[in-house]
Protein backbone atom coordinates (compact mmCIF):
# COMPACT_ATOMS: atom_id res chain seq x y z
CA UNK A 1 0.00 0.00 0.00
CA UNK A 2 1.24 3.49 -0.81
CA UNK A 3 2.09 5.94 1.96
CA UNK A 4 -0.45 8.39 0.51
CA UNK A 5 -3.00 6.24 -1.30
CA UNK A 6 -4.03 7.81 -4.58
CA UNK A 7 -7.45 7.01 -6.03
CA UNK A 8 -7.33 8.03 -9.71
CA UNK A 9 -10.46 9.36 -11.42
CA UNK A 10 -13.23 7.02 -12.55
CA UNK A 11 -17.00 7.44 -13.00
CA UNK A 12 -18.93 6.29 -9.96
CA UNK A 13 -20.82 3.06 -10.68
CA UNK A 14 -24.54 3.80 -10.98
CA UNK A 15 -27.09 2.27 -8.65
CA UNK A 16 -29.82 1.51 -11.19
CA UNK A 17 -29.16 0.12 -14.70
CA UNK A 18 -29.88 2.92 -17.23
CA UNK A 19 -31.97 0.78 -19.57
CA UNK A 20 -34.05 -0.70 -16.70
CA UNK A 21 -37.49 -1.66 -17.93
CA UNK A 22 -38.46 -1.71 -21.62
CA UNK A 23 -39.60 1.92 -21.63
CA UNK A 24 -38.86 4.63 -24.20
CA UNK A 25 -37.34 6.71 -21.40
CA UNK A 26 -35.04 3.83 -20.40
CA UNK A 27 -33.84 3.42 -23.99
CA UNK A 28 -33.26 7.16 -24.42
CA UNK A 29 -31.29 7.27 -21.19
CA UNK A 30 -29.21 4.34 -22.41
CA UNK A 31 -28.41 6.09 -25.73
CA UNK A 32 -27.53 9.31 -23.94
CA UNK A 33 -25.03 7.54 -21.69
CA UNK A 34 -23.56 5.54 -24.57
CA UNK A 35 -23.05 8.75 -26.54
CA UNK A 36 -21.55 10.58 -23.56
CA UNK A 37 -19.36 7.90 -21.96
CA UNK A 38 -20.11 4.15 -22.10
CA UNK A 39 -18.01 3.62 -18.92
CA UNK A 40 -20.92 5.18 -17.03
CA UNK A 41 -23.20 2.32 -18.01
CA UNK A 42 -21.77 -0.03 -15.36
CA UNK A 43 -23.63 -0.42 -12.07
CA UNK A 44 -22.69 -1.35 -8.51
CA UNK A 45 -24.10 -4.79 -9.33
CA UNK A 46 -21.58 -5.31 -12.14
CA UNK A 47 -18.65 -4.42 -9.83
CA UNK A 48 -19.95 -6.70 -7.07
CA UNK A 49 -21.44 -9.74 -8.82
CA UNK A 50 -19.40 -12.04 -11.04
CA UNK A 51 -22.14 -12.98 -13.52
CA UNK A 52 -25.12 -11.10 -14.95
CA UNK A 53 -27.84 -12.00 -17.37
CA UNK A 54 -29.34 -8.87 -18.97
CA UNK A 55 -31.89 -8.16 -21.69
CA UNK A 56 -31.67 -5.03 -23.84
CA UNK A 57 -33.61 -4.20 -27.01
CA UNK A 58 -35.05 -7.72 -26.99
CA UNK A 59 -31.61 -9.34 -27.01
CA UNK A 60 -29.94 -11.51 -24.35
CA UNK A 61 -26.59 -10.59 -22.86
CA UNK A 62 -24.38 -12.47 -20.43
CA UNK A 63 -21.95 -10.20 -18.58
CA UNK A 64 -19.05 -12.29 -17.27
CA UNK A 65 -16.50 -11.19 -14.67
CA UNK A 66 -15.85 -14.55 -13.03
CA UNK A 67 -12.23 -15.41 -13.95
CA UNK A 68 -13.01 -19.13 -14.31
CA UNK A 69 -15.96 -18.40 -16.61
CA UNK A 70 -13.82 -15.93 -18.58
CA UNK A 71 -11.37 -18.79 -19.10
CA UNK A 72 -14.19 -21.09 -20.17
CA UNK A 73 -15.67 -18.95 -22.95
CA UNK A 74 -12.54 -17.15 -24.20
CA UNK A 75 -10.09 -20.07 -23.91
CA UNK A 76 -11.47 -23.56 -23.29
CA UNK A 77 -14.66 -23.30 -25.37
CA UNK A 78 -13.53 -20.41 -27.63
CA UNK A 79 -14.65 -22.36 -30.72
CA UNK A 80 -18.27 -21.83 -29.66
CA UNK A 81 -17.96 -18.04 -29.79
CA UNK A 82 -17.72 -15.76 -32.83
CA UNK A 83 -17.30 -12.01 -33.20
CA UNK A 84 -20.21 -9.65 -32.56
CA UNK A 85 -22.01 -7.68 -35.26
CA UNK A 86 -20.87 -4.45 -33.58
CA UNK A 87 -17.17 -5.33 -33.91
CA UNK A 88 -17.69 -6.10 -37.58
CA UNK A 89 -19.82 -3.01 -38.23
CA UNK A 90 -17.23 -0.78 -36.52
CA UNK A 91 -14.06 -2.17 -38.02
CA UNK A 92 -14.80 -4.01 -41.28
CA UNK A 93 -15.11 -0.85 -43.42
CA UNK A 94 -11.59 0.06 -42.33
CA UNK A 95 -9.85 -3.27 -41.88
CA UNK A 96 -11.46 -5.38 -44.62
CA UNK A 97 -10.21 -8.92 -44.12
CA UNK A 98 -7.61 -7.95 -41.46
CA UNK A 99 -6.98 -10.21 -38.45
CA UNK A 100 -9.06 -8.20 -35.97
CA UNK A 101 -12.30 -8.84 -37.87
CA UNK A 102 -11.47 -12.11 -39.66
CA UNK A 103 -13.35 -15.27 -38.68
CA UNK A 104 -13.29 -19.02 -39.36
CA UNK A 105 -10.77 -20.30 -41.92
CA UNK A 106 -9.68 -16.79 -42.92
CA UNK A 107 -8.82 -15.98 -39.26
CA UNK A 108 -6.95 -19.30 -38.77
CA UNK A 109 -4.93 -18.86 -41.97
CA UNK A 110 -4.14 -15.18 -41.27
CA UNK A 111 -3.23 -15.72 -37.60
CA UNK A 112 -0.90 -18.60 -38.60
CA UNK A 113 0.72 -16.47 -41.29
CA UNK A 114 1.17 -13.41 -39.05
CA UNK A 115 2.30 -15.13 -35.83
CA UNK A 116 5.97 -15.49 -36.97
CA UNK A 117 6.19 -11.69 -37.40
CA UNK A 118 5.51 -11.30 -33.65
CA UNK A 119 7.97 -13.91 -32.35
CA UNK A 120 10.43 -12.87 -29.66
CA UNK A 121 13.25 -12.61 -32.23
CA UNK A 122 11.42 -10.21 -34.55
CA UNK A 123 9.97 -8.10 -31.74
CA UNK A 124 13.47 -7.84 -30.22
CA UNK A 125 14.84 -6.64 -33.57
CA UNK A 126 12.48 -3.65 -33.36
CA UNK A 127 13.98 -2.50 -30.02
CA UNK A 128 16.67 -0.19 -31.51
CA UNK A 129 14.03 1.51 -33.72
CA UNK A 130 11.74 2.00 -30.72
CA UNK A 131 14.62 3.48 -28.75
CA UNK A 132 15.63 5.82 -31.57
CA UNK A 133 12.08 7.16 -32.03
CA UNK A 134 11.64 7.57 -28.24
CA UNK A 135 14.94 9.46 -27.95
CA UNK A 136 13.97 11.77 -30.80
CA UNK A 137 10.69 12.62 -29.02
CA UNK A 138 12.53 13.09 -25.68
CA UNK A 139 14.96 15.49 -27.42
CA UNK A 140 12.03 17.42 -28.95
CA UNK A 141 10.36 17.66 -25.53
CA UNK A 142 13.65 18.75 -23.94
CA UNK A 143 13.60 21.79 -26.24
CA UNK A 144 10.39 22.76 -24.46
CA UNK A 145 11.80 22.55 -20.93
CA UNK A 146 10.01 25.05 -18.69
CA UNK A 147 6.82 24.87 -20.79
CA UNK A 148 3.81 22.61 -20.59
CA UNK A 149 3.09 19.98 -23.24
CA UNK A 150 -0.11 17.96 -23.86
CA UNK A 151 0.73 14.32 -23.17
CA UNK A 152 -2.38 13.04 -24.97
CA UNK A 153 -1.10 14.42 -28.27
CA UNK A 154 2.59 13.82 -27.59
CA UNK A 155 2.04 10.13 -26.89
CA UNK A 156 -0.25 9.70 -29.93
CA UNK A 157 2.53 11.15 -32.11
CA UNK A 158 5.20 9.04 -30.46
CA UNK A 159 3.25 5.76 -30.74
CA UNK A 160 2.40 6.46 -34.39
CA UNK A 161 6.04 7.30 -35.18
CA UNK A 162 7.12 3.99 -33.62
CA UNK A 163 4.55 2.02 -35.61
CA UNK A 164 5.30 3.72 -38.92
CA UNK A 165 9.03 3.12 -38.42
CA UNK A 166 8.40 -0.57 -37.60
CA UNK A 167 5.88 -1.07 -40.43
CA UNK A 168 7.64 0.60 -43.34
CA UNK A 169 11.20 1.48 -42.17
CA UNK A 170 12.43 4.91 -43.11
CA UNK A 171 13.38 4.26 -46.66
CA UNK A 172 9.90 4.30 -48.16
CA UNK A 173 8.41 7.28 -49.96
CA UNK A 174 5.49 7.36 -47.54
CA UNK A 175 4.31 10.90 -46.86
CA UNK A 176 4.24 10.34 -43.10
CA UNK A 177 2.77 13.76 -42.29
CA UNK A 178 -0.24 13.12 -44.56
CA UNK A 179 -0.50 9.57 -43.25
CA UNK A 180 -0.52 10.73 -39.60
CA UNK A 181 -3.08 13.42 -40.40
CA UNK A 182 -5.39 10.83 -41.99
CA UNK A 183 -5.01 8.46 -39.02
CA UNK A 184 -5.90 11.38 -36.73
CA UNK A 185 -8.98 12.24 -38.79
CA UNK A 186 -10.06 8.64 -38.85
CA UNK A 187 -9.79 8.28 -35.10
CA UNK A 188 -12.04 11.31 -34.71
CA UNK A 189 -14.58 9.93 -37.20
CA UNK A 190 -14.52 6.32 -36.05
CA UNK A 191 -14.47 7.00 -32.32
CA UNK A 192 -18.12 6.21 -31.62
CA UNK A 193 -20.28 3.25 -32.59
CA UNK A 194 -23.15 4.43 -34.76
CA UNK A 195 -26.43 4.24 -32.81
CA UNK A 196 -27.83 1.94 -35.51
CA UNK A 197 -25.02 -0.51 -34.78
CA UNK A 198 -25.93 -0.54 -31.11
CA UNK A 199 -29.42 -1.79 -31.91
CA UNK A 200 -28.13 -4.31 -34.43
CA UNK A 201 -29.61 -2.63 -37.51
CA UNK A 202 -28.83 -4.51 -40.72
CA UNK A 203 -25.70 -3.48 -42.61
CA UNK A 204 -27.62 -2.14 -45.62
CA UNK A 205 -29.33 0.59 -43.62
CA UNK A 206 -27.61 3.92 -44.32
CA UNK A 207 -25.31 5.17 -41.54
CA UNK A 208 -25.12 8.91 -41.84
CA UNK A 209 -21.78 10.59 -41.33
CA UNK A 210 -19.77 7.65 -42.61
CA UNK A 211 -19.00 9.04 -46.09
CA UNK A 212 -16.08 11.13 -44.85
CA UNK A 213 -14.61 8.14 -43.01
CA UNK A 214 -14.66 6.04 -46.20
CA UNK A 215 -12.84 8.81 -48.06
CA UNK A 216 -10.09 8.96 -45.43
CA UNK A 217 -9.81 5.16 -45.43
CA UNK A 218 -9.46 5.21 -49.23
CA UNK A 219 -6.61 7.71 -48.92
CA UNK A 220 -4.79 5.62 -46.30
CA UNK A 221 -5.15 2.42 -48.28
CA UNK A 222 -3.84 4.13 -51.42
CA UNK A 223 -0.75 5.30 -49.50
CA UNK A 224 -0.03 1.82 -48.13
CA UNK A 225 -0.67 0.27 -51.58
CA UNK A 226 1.91 2.65 -53.11
CA UNK A 227 4.56 1.66 -50.53
CA UNK A 228 3.78 -2.01 -51.15
CA UNK A 229 4.15 -1.59 -54.92
CA UNK A 230 7.45 0.23 -54.50
CA UNK A 231 8.72 -2.52 -52.15
CA UNK A 232 7.77 -5.31 -54.57
CA UNK A 233 9.61 -3.49 -57.35
CA UNK A 234 12.77 -3.02 -55.30
CA UNK A 235 12.69 -6.69 -54.24
CA UNK A 236 12.32 -7.74 -57.89
CA UNK A 237 15.36 -5.58 -58.63
CA UNK A 238 17.30 -7.78 -56.19
CA UNK A 239 17.31 -5.48 -53.15
CA UNK A 240 17.07 -7.16 -49.73
CA UNK A 241 13.72 -6.63 -47.97
CA UNK A 242 14.21 -4.28 -44.99
CA UNK A 243 13.53 -5.83 -41.62
CA UNK A 244 10.09 -4.28 -41.05
CA UNK A 245 6.48 -5.51 -40.78
CA UNK A 246 5.90 -4.94 -44.49
CA UNK A 247 8.86 -7.22 -45.28
CA UNK A 248 7.63 -9.80 -42.74
CA UNK A 249 4.10 -9.77 -44.15
CA UNK A 250 5.41 -10.26 -47.68
CA UNK A 251 7.20 -13.38 -46.38
CA UNK A 252 4.18 -14.54 -44.33
CA UNK A 253 2.88 -17.94 -45.42
CA UNK A 254 5.32 -18.11 -48.38
CA UNK A 255 7.14 -21.20 -47.06
CA UNK A 256 3.79 -23.00 -46.63
CA UNK A 257 2.70 -22.05 -50.15
CA UNK A 258 -0.09 -19.78 -48.80
CA UNK A 259 1.20 -16.19 -49.07
CA UNK A 260 -1.06 -13.26 -48.25
CA UNK A 261 -2.54 -11.39 -51.22
CA UNK A 262 -1.64 -7.70 -51.65
CA UNK A 263 -5.11 -6.77 -50.34
CA UNK A 264 -4.55 -8.92 -47.24
CA UNK A 265 -1.12 -7.38 -46.64
CA UNK A 266 -2.69 -3.89 -46.79
CA UNK A 267 -5.63 -4.93 -44.58
CA UNK A 268 -3.26 -6.28 -41.94
CA UNK A 269 -0.83 -3.36 -42.01
CA UNK A 270 -3.82 -1.06 -41.45
CA UNK A 271 -5.03 -3.46 -38.74
CA UNK A 272 -1.71 -3.15 -36.87
CA UNK A 273 -1.93 0.63 -37.13
CA UNK A 274 -5.51 0.73 -35.87
CA UNK A 275 -5.08 -1.86 -33.11
CA UNK A 276 -1.62 -0.82 -31.99
CA UNK A 277 -1.45 2.97 -32.18
CA UNK A 278 -4.11 4.48 -29.98
CA UNK A 279 -4.07 1.59 -27.46
CA UNK A 280 -0.35 2.02 -26.78
CA UNK A 281 -0.53 5.84 -26.80
CA UNK A 282 -3.33 5.84 -24.18
CA UNK A 283 -1.38 3.43 -21.99
CA UNK A 284 1.65 5.74 -22.09
CA UNK A 285 -0.45 8.83 -21.30
CA UNK A 286 -2.27 7.23 -18.37
CA UNK A 287 0.99 5.88 -16.99
CA UNK A 288 2.67 9.31 -17.06
CA UNK A 289 -0.43 10.83 -15.47
CA UNK A 290 -0.51 8.25 -12.65
CA UNK A 291 3.20 8.61 -11.96
CA UNK A 292 2.99 12.41 -11.86
CA UNK A 293 0.18 12.20 -9.27
CA UNK A 294 1.94 9.77 -6.92
CA UNK A 295 5.22 11.29 -5.65
CA UNK A 296 6.36 8.20 -3.75
CA UNK A 297 5.91 6.06 -6.89
CA UNK A 298 7.75 8.65 -8.98
CA UNK A 299 10.68 8.68 -6.50
CA UNK A 300 10.95 4.88 -6.52
CA UNK A 301 10.96 4.83 -10.34
CA UNK A 302 13.74 7.42 -10.50
CA UNK A 303 15.72 5.49 -7.92
CA UNK A 304 15.39 2.33 -9.96
CA UNK A 305 16.29 4.12 -13.20
CA UNK A 306 19.35 5.76 -11.65
CA UNK A 307 20.61 2.46 -10.28
CA UNK A 308 20.14 0.48 -13.50
CA UNK A 309 22.91 0.51 -16.08
CA UNK A 310 20.66 1.04 -19.09
CA UNK A 311 23.42 2.45 -21.29
CA UNK A 312 25.10 -0.94 -21.49
CA UNK A 313 21.91 -3.05 -21.41
CA UNK A 314 20.04 -4.02 -24.60
CA UNK A 315 16.75 -2.05 -24.68
CA UNK A 316 14.67 -5.19 -25.24
CA UNK A 317 15.74 -6.35 -21.75
CA UNK A 318 15.05 -3.08 -19.92
CA UNK A 319 11.86 -4.53 -18.54
CA UNK A 320 13.93 -7.18 -16.66
CA UNK A 321 16.24 -4.47 -15.35
CA UNK A 322 13.30 -2.31 -14.16
CA UNK A 323 10.84 -4.53 -12.23
CA UNK A 324 9.22 -1.63 -10.37
CA UNK A 325 8.52 0.40 -13.52
CA UNK A 326 7.12 -2.77 -15.10
CA UNK A 327 4.77 -3.14 -12.12
CA UNK A 328 3.72 0.52 -12.52
CA UNK A 329 2.90 -0.12 -16.18
CA UNK A 330 0.85 -3.22 -15.30
CA UNK A 331 -1.03 -1.29 -12.63
CA UNK A 332 -1.73 1.47 -15.15
CA UNK A 333 -3.20 -1.09 -17.57
CA UNK A 334 -5.27 -2.53 -14.74
CA UNK A 335 -6.83 0.83 -13.92
CA UNK A 336 -7.10 2.09 -17.51
CA UNK A 337 -7.16 -0.90 -19.86
CA UNK A 338 -7.10 0.63 -23.36
CA UNK A 339 -9.42 -2.06 -24.74
CA UNK A 340 -12.27 -1.94 -22.28
CA UNK A 341 -14.74 -4.36 -23.89
CA UNK A 342 -14.34 -7.95 -25.02
CA UNK A 343 -17.46 -9.43 -26.57
CA UNK A 344 -18.46 -12.58 -28.40
CA UNK A 345 -21.60 -14.10 -29.91
CA UNK A 346 -22.43 -17.71 -28.96
CA UNK A 347 -22.73 -20.06 -31.93
CA UNK A 348 -24.22 -23.04 -30.08
CA UNK A 349 -25.64 -23.60 -26.57
CA UNK A 350 -23.33 -23.46 -23.55
CA UNK A 351 -23.46 -22.94 -19.79
CA UNK A 352 -21.61 -20.02 -18.22
CA UNK A 353 -21.60 -20.44 -14.44
CA UNK A 354 -25.29 -20.83 -13.67
CA UNK A 355 -26.44 -19.12 -16.89
CA UNK A 356 -27.78 -21.28 -19.73
CA UNK A 357 -26.56 -19.70 -22.96
CA UNK A 358 -28.73 -20.06 -26.07
CA UNK A 359 -27.18 -19.71 -29.53
CA UNK A 360 -26.86 -16.05 -30.65
CA UNK A 361 -26.37 -14.70 -27.12
CA UNK A 362 -23.90 -11.88 -26.68
CA UNK A 363 -21.30 -12.47 -23.98
CA UNK A 364 -19.44 -9.44 -22.65
CA UNK A 365 -16.43 -9.02 -20.38
CA UNK A 366 -15.20 -5.54 -19.60
CA UNK A 367 -11.55 -5.42 -18.49
CA UNK A 368 -12.53 -2.04 -16.96
CA UNK A 369 -14.96 -3.80 -14.59
CA UNK A 370 -12.95 -7.02 -14.20
CA UNK A 371 -9.81 -5.12 -13.19
CA UNK A 372 -11.72 -3.12 -10.55
CA UNK A 373 -14.01 -5.90 -9.36
CA UNK A 374 -14.76 -5.75 -5.64
CA UNK A 375 -14.66 -9.54 -5.28
CA UNK A 376 -11.30 -9.95 -7.05
CA UNK A 377 -9.07 -7.06 -5.94
CA UNK A 378 -8.06 -5.49 -2.65
CA UNK A 379 -8.63 -1.69 -2.73
CA UNK A 380 -9.57 -2.00 -6.41
CA UNK A 381 -9.71 1.73 -7.19
CA UNK A 382 -6.38 2.63 -5.58
CA UNK A 383 -3.18 3.04 -7.60
CA UNK A 384 -0.82 0.53 -5.99
CA UNK A 385 1.91 -0.91 -8.26
CA UNK A 386 3.14 -3.19 -5.46
CA UNK A 387 0.25 -5.53 -6.16
CA UNK A 388 2.19 -6.63 -9.26
CA UNK A 389 5.36 -7.52 -7.33
CA UNK A 390 6.43 -10.67 -5.45
CA UNK A 391 3.89 -12.75 -3.54
CA UNK A 392 1.08 -10.23 -4.12
CA UNK A 393 1.44 -10.71 -7.89
CA UNK A 394 1.28 -14.50 -7.55
CA UNK A 395 -2.04 -14.19 -5.71
CA UNK A 396 -3.80 -12.46 -8.66
CA UNK A 397 -6.20 -14.96 -10.25
CA UNK A 398 -4.95 -15.77 -13.77
CA UNK A 399 -8.03 -14.52 -15.63
CA UNK A 400 -8.76 -11.50 -13.39
CA UNK A 401 -6.20 -9.41 -15.30
CA UNK A 402 -6.47 -9.46 -19.10
CA UNK A 403 -5.50 -6.08 -20.63
CA UNK A 404 -4.53 -7.92 -23.85
CA UNK A 405 -7.47 -10.36 -23.81
CA UNK A 406 -6.83 -14.10 -23.63
CA UNK A 407 -7.31 -17.35 -25.54
CA UNK A 408 -6.75 -17.89 -29.26
CA UNK A 409 -7.65 -14.27 -30.09
CA UNK A 410 -5.33 -12.76 -27.49
CA UNK A 411 -3.64 -9.56 -28.73
CA UNK A 412 -1.01 -10.58 -31.26
CA UNK A 413 0.90 -7.34 -30.55
CA UNK A 414 1.07 -7.73 -26.73
CA UNK A 415 4.82 -8.32 -26.46
CA UNK A 416 5.53 -5.68 -29.13
CA UNK A 417 3.53 -3.15 -27.13
CA UNK A 418 5.02 -4.14 -23.74
CA UNK A 419 8.51 -3.81 -25.19
CA UNK A 420 7.65 -0.46 -26.75
CA UNK A 421 6.26 1.02 -23.52
CA UNK A 422 9.16 -0.35 -21.49
CA UNK A 423 11.58 1.40 -23.85
CA UNK A 424 9.66 4.68 -24.23
CA UNK A 425 9.01 5.22 -20.49
CA UNK A 426 12.64 4.76 -19.35
CA UNK A 427 13.91 7.02 -22.17
CA UNK A 428 11.43 9.79 -21.26
CA UNK A 429 11.68 9.49 -17.48
CA UNK A 430 15.47 9.36 -17.41
CA UNK A 431 15.90 12.53 -19.40
CA UNK A 432 12.88 14.61 -18.35
CA UNK A 433 10.69 15.38 -15.40
CA UNK A 434 6.92 15.44 -15.91
CA UNK A 435 4.78 17.49 -13.50
CA UNK A 436 1.02 17.45 -13.93
CA UNK A 437 0.06 21.02 -14.81
CA UNK A 438 -3.75 21.03 -15.25
CA UNK A 439 -6.16 22.45 -12.71
CA UNK A 440 -8.46 19.45 -13.23
CA UNK A 441 -7.82 15.74 -13.37
CA UNK A 442 -8.81 13.98 -16.60
CA UNK A 443 -11.87 11.72 -16.59
CA UNK A 444 -11.62 8.39 -18.40
CA UNK A 445 -13.97 8.29 -21.39
CA UNK A 446 -14.57 5.26 -23.54
CA UNK A 447 -14.45 5.82 -27.27
CA UNK A 448 -12.68 3.01 -29.07
CA UNK A 449 -10.10 3.04 -26.26
CA UNK A 450 -10.31 4.50 -22.75
CA UNK A 451 -9.05 8.03 -23.30
CA UNK A 452 -8.52 10.96 -20.95
CA UNK A 453 -11.11 13.74 -21.22
CA UNK A 454 -8.35 16.40 -21.28
CA UNK A 455 -4.97 17.00 -22.91
CA UNK A 456 -3.16 15.92 -19.70
CA UNK A 457 -0.71 18.84 -19.79
CA UNK A 458 2.63 18.31 -18.08
CA UNK A 459 5.26 20.86 -17.16
CA UNK A 460 8.46 19.56 -18.70
CA UNK A 461 11.85 20.05 -17.09
CA UNK A 462 15.28 18.54 -17.62
CA UNK A 463 16.47 16.05 -15.01
C1 LIG B 1 -1.43 -1.33 -24.94
C2 LIG B 1 -1.57 -1.77 -26.17
C3 LIG B 1 -2.58 -2.79 -26.62
C4 LIG B 1 -3.70 -3.25 -25.99
C5 LIG B 1 -4.25 -2.86 -24.60
C6 LIG B 1 -4.31 -4.23 -26.86
C7 LIG B 1 -5.45 -4.97 -26.54
C8 LIG B 1 -5.98 -5.97 -27.33
C9 LIG B 1 -7.05 -6.85 -26.93
C10 LIG B 1 -7.77 -6.80 -25.59
C11 LIG B 1 -7.28 -7.71 -27.95
C12 LIG B 1 -8.26 -8.87 -27.95
C13 LIG B 1 -9.62 -8.50 -28.45
C14 LIG B 1 -10.61 -9.64 -28.28
O15 LIG B 1 -10.33 -10.69 -27.72
O16 LIG B 1 -11.74 -9.45 -28.74
C17 LIG B 1 -6.37 -7.34 -29.03
C18 LIG B 1 -6.33 -7.97 -30.26
C19 LIG B 1 -5.49 -7.58 -31.27
N20 LIG B 1 -4.43 -6.69 -31.18
FE21 LIG B 1 -3.93 -5.60 -29.57
N22 LIG B 1 -3.58 -4.31 -28.01
C23 LIG B 1 -2.50 -3.46 -27.91
C24 LIG B 1 -1.48 -3.27 -28.84
C25 LIG B 1 -1.43 -3.89 -30.08
C26 LIG B 1 -0.37 -3.72 -31.05
C27 LIG B 1 0.88 -2.86 -30.84
C28 LIG B 1 -0.74 -4.43 -32.17
C29 LIG B 1 -0.01 -4.62 -33.48
C30 LIG B 1 1.14 -4.10 -33.82
C31 LIG B 1 -2.01 -5.08 -31.87
C32 LIG B 1 -2.71 -5.88 -32.75
C33 LIG B 1 -3.82 -6.62 -32.41
C34 LIG B 1 -4.51 -7.50 -33.35
C35 LIG B 1 -4.16 -7.70 -34.82
C36 LIG B 1 -5.54 -8.13 -32.62
C37 LIG B 1 -6.54 -9.17 -33.15
C38 LIG B 1 -6.04 -10.57 -32.84
C39 LIG B 1 -6.97 -11.66 -33.31
O40 LIG B 1 -8.19 -11.44 -33.36
O41 LIG B 1 -6.47 -12.74 -33.61
N42 LIG B 1 -2.39 -4.72 -30.60
N43 LIG B 1 -5.57 -6.30 -28.61
207 lines ligand 1 (CB under 6 A): no
The rounded Å distance from CA 363 to ligand 1 centre is 19
Residue nearest atom 3 of ligand 1, based on CA coordinates: 279
> In ligand 1, which atom is closest to the CA atom of 245?
30
Mean pLDDT per 10-residue segment, the chain (463 residues): 76 76 74 87 94 82 96 98 87 87 94 93 96 98 98 96 90 82 80 62 61 86 92 83 88 87 94 92 98 97 97 96 98 96 96 95 96 97 97 97 98 98 98 98 92 97 97
100 lines ligand 1 (CB under 6 A): yes
Check: CB of residue 339 under 8 Å from CB of residue 403: yes
The rounded Å distance from CA 459 to ligand 1 centre is 32
279 lines ligand 1 (CB under 6 A): yes
Contacts of residue 171, Cβ cutoff 8 Å, sequence gap at least 6: 242
Question: CA 375: distance to chain centroid?
Answer: 25
> In ligand 1, which atom is closest to the CA atom of 344?
16
Residue 60 phi, psi (nearest 5): -95, 140
Check: CB of residue 51 under 8 Å from CB of residue 25: no
d(CA 232, CA 238): 10
- The residues that bridge with 53 in the sheet, in sequence order, are 62
405 lines ligand 1 (CB under 6 A): yes
Q: Which helix (H) or strand (E) holds 365?
A: strand 362-365
> In ligand 1, which atom is closest to the CA atom of 408?
41
The rounded Å distance from CA 437 to ligand 1 centre is 32
> In ligand 1, which atom is closest to the CA atom of 111?
41
357 lines ligand 1 (CB under 6 A): no
220 lines ligand 1 (CB under 6 A): no
* Domain range summary for the chain, segments of one domain joined by +: 24-462
102 lines ligand 1 (CB under 6 A): no
Site to probe by mutation for ligand 1, drawn from 331, 333, 413, 444 as the one with most ligand atoms within 8 Å of Cβ, is 413
The rounded Å distance from CA 270 to ligand 1 centre is 13
- Per-residue pLDDT, 114: 93
Of 217, 224, 161, 156, the closest CA to residue 189 belongs to 217
Report yes or no on whether pTM surpasses 0.85: yes
Neighbour tally for 262: CB within 10 Å: 14
Of 79, 6, 87, 10, the closest CA to residue 42 belongs to 10
CATH class of the 24-462 domain in this structure: mainly alpha
- Per-residue pLDDT, 327: 98
- Per-residue pLDDT, 402: 98
The rounded Å distance from CA 302 to ligand 1 centre is 30
**CA end-to-end span of the chain:** 27
The rounded Å distance from CA 410 to ligand 1 centre is 7
Amino acid sequence: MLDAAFTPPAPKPRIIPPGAGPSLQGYLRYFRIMAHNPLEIWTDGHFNRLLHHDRLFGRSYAVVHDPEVVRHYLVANAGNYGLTKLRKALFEPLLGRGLLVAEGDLWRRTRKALTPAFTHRHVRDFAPVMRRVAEARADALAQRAGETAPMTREMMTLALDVLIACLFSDDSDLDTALFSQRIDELLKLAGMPHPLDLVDAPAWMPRFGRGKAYKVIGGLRAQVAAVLKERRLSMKGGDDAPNDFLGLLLQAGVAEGAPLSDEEVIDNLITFLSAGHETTARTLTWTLYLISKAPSVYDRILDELDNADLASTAPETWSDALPYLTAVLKESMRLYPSASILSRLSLGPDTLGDIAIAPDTEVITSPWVLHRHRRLWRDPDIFDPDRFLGEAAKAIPRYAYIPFGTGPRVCIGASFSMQETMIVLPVLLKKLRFDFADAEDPTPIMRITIQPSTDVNMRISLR
